[in-house]
Each structure stands twice: as structure tokens, then as C-alpha cells.
Amino acid sequence: MKKKKFLLIFGANGNLGKIISKKLIKKYKIITAGRVKNSKILFKNYLSIPKIISNVSPDIIINLIAKTDVDDCEKNKRAARLANIEVVKKIVIGIKNLKKKIKFIHFSTDHVYSKKKIKPSKEIETKITNYYAKTKFLGEKAALKCNSIIIRTNFIGKQSLKKKLSLSDWIYHSIKNNKKILGYKNIFFSPLHTSTLVKILLKIIEKKNIKGIFNLGSNGYISKYDLIKFFSKKANKQNLLTAIDYKNNISRPRRPFNMIMHNDKIENFLSIKLPSIQTEINKTLKEYF
């Protein structure tokens, strides 16, 4: 019987981390490291990350630690730097110190894109609009100091943590509780359902000689307003939704309007075809209705 490889996940107690751990535990020996008590390895300071890597000696590392709240990143820049940059630097140091071939997969964001025209962005076409995007971009630069795989993505789907709702969780609960919702009709993105994301992640883990930055999104795009519209129609509560344009101003962090991703690179590398945005929306709706 083939021995299971050790997969060390930093930030495994978040929504995506729990989904990934649950799906991959049959194929890999999962070791979780984080600041939450139910982590297999509990650490309070990011400075201990290299020692954790040395002690575990994993075959694969997945980093999901991130500070993702755009407004909070702007207000608490030090915390954003620690989570989105310094943690990555310490993982890279740990990998280099171990002197072992380790596959390092670092999750980044589609917020590094912001084309003016409604067209998909390739991996080289970045445009930084706020401090969150800046720290994630610099975190990518740190990860590239070793043979890493950077996944720029966005995802939808029912999440596992009640305290931290996903976008689709928030939409569903708002509609269920008859709350009025403002839907931005000028912010576009191309998210994947979490089940698709994990399926492609498994292919990336198993693929040999893969490194660099990859977009991982659905084919096509949708506005935040139209995504909410699908939910409101399904619940027969279209009266709760109002379409508006998001406007950047000096009182809050700037946000990218166009986060649509060009997926040819990952599709060609893995010899796959990523699903359409409509397919991913349908998967999401089935979870709630």
C-alpha cells in the first residue's frame, strides 16, 4: 500500500481550509497548523512557522492564512502585512531550511486585477487598487522565492463556519431574513464553486513540475448584482434587491471593478476546461434551495 504524503495546511480552520481538509484527507495525511485550538499544531506567533515546517517535514504545504477584509486591511495595515506577507516569508524560510523538495501552494486573490474594460486579465496584467491587494501581491512575490504555485482565485458556495459567512451565505441569509440588499452592477468577477476549486487543487497537487502564478476562475463573468438576483429570483423575493453602481471615494478603500480572470494558462497546463460561470452558480443555488 502506497504511503500517504504529509500535507501541512496553514490556516486550515477557515471556511476554505475546512472544505479542503475534508476532501483531501482520504489521499493525504493532513496536518493543520493555526491559531485556533482545534488545530493539530497550535501556534501563536508567525515566527514559529519555520520550526513547525522543520518538525513536520511535509511533502506539500498549502497556505490559506490571510487577512481578507478590505476595509480592515486599510485600517490595520500592520496586521495585514503580518498575515499576507510575513507569514509567507516565514513559510519560504522554513522550506529552504529543510532542504527538502516540498510542493508549496499559496492562495492569493483576484483583487490584484482591475482592468477598465470588461475583459479578462491574464496573470501578468495586474493593477493594485487597495492595501489588501498590495499585501497579497507582495505575498506572492515572497512565495516565488521558492518553487511555489500561486493560485489567484475567488469562490462561492455554502461554507462551514457560522461565524464567518461566505458571499453566497450572506446573500442567502439576507434574503431569508427579508433584508434589503444593494447589488453592485458594475463590479464583475468569475468565481468557482468550492467543489470545483478543490477538484482542480487536487490536480495541481498531483501534477509534476508545476510552478508559477495561475488564475483559477470560471469561464465567463457575473456582476455582484446579477449573482444576488439569481438568489432573489429563486426565493421569489426580487423586491428586496436594488441595483446600484459602486463608487470609489476618499472615505473608504478603493475596490477593483473588474476581477474577471483569463484561465488559458491553467487550462493548458492541466489539459482541462474550466466550467462556465452559470454552471458554478447552479451548483451554488442547489446548496441553498
Domain count, the chain: 1
Cβ pair 112, 106 in contact under 8 A: no
pLDDT band at 97 (very low <50, low <70, confident <90, very high): very high
CATH number of the domain where residue 89 is located: 3.40.50.720
pTM: 0.94
**pLDDT at residue 250, rounded to an integer:** 62
Which residue range(s) make up the domain with 125?
5-161+191-218+261-275
Is residue 147 a part of any domain in this protein? yes
Choose the weakest-confidence range: 32-36, 203-207, 239-243, 273-277: 32-36
Is residue 13 a part of any domain in this protein? yes
**pLDDT at residue 251, rounded to an integer:** 61
pLDDT at position 128 over 60: yes
Query: In the chain, what is the greatest distance between 2 CA atoms, to the nearest angstrom?
Result: 60
C-alpha grid cell, residue 44 = 501563536
pLDDT band at 161 (very low <50, low <70, confident <90, very high): low
Each residue's pLDDT tens digit, 200-257 = 999 999 999 999 999 999 999 999 999 999 999 999 999 999 999 988 776 677 889 9
Is residue 48 a part of any domain in this protein? yes
CA distance to 72, 119, 121, 131, 195, per residue, from 77 (Å): 8, 31, 27, 8, 32
Between the two ends of the chain, the Cα-to-Cα distance in Å is: 42
DSSP-derived secondary structure letter, 67: -
pLDDT band at 30 (very low <50, low <70, confident <90, very high): very high
Cα–Cα distance for residue pair 205/266, rounded to 1 Å? 13
Cα–Cα distance for residue pair 253/132, rounded to 1 Å? 9
Is residue 134 a part of any domain in this protein? yes
**pLDDT at residue 35, rounded to an integer:** 77
Cα–Cα distance for residue pair 259/189, rounded to 1 Å? 5
**pLDDT at residue 42, rounded to an integer:** 73
Q: Which long-range contacts (CB under 8 A, 24 or more apart) does 225-229 make?
A: 225/183, 225/184, 225/185, 226/183, 226/185, 227/156, 227/167, 227/168, 227/171, 227/183, 227/281, 228/171, 228/181, 228/183, 229/183
Is residue 86 a part of any domain in this protein? yes
Is residue 246 a part of any domain in this protein? no
Stretch 89-106: mean pLDDT: 95
Is residue 27 a part of any domain in this protein? yes
Each residue's pLDDT tens digit, 46-74 = 899 999 999 999 999 999 999 999 999 99
Choose the weakest-confidence range: 12-16, 163-167, 273-277: 163-167
**pLDDT at residue 160, rounded to an integer:** 63
Each residue's pLDDT tens digit, 186-204 = 999 999 999 999 999 999 9
Cβ pair 150, 143 in contact under 8 A: yes
**Rounded percentage of the chain residues whose pLDDT exceeds 70:** 97
**pLDDT at residue 4, rounded to an integer:** 87
Is residue 129 a part of any domain in this protein? yes
Stretch 163-187: mean pLDDT: 90
Those residues whose C-beta lies under 8 Å from the C-beta of residue 30, and which sit 6 or more positions away, are 7, 9, 12, 21, 24
**What one-letter code names the amino acid at 195?**
S
pLDDT at position 1 over 60: no
**pLDDT at residue 16, rounded to an integer:** 87
Cα–Cα distance for residue pair 19/198, rounded to 1 Å? 8
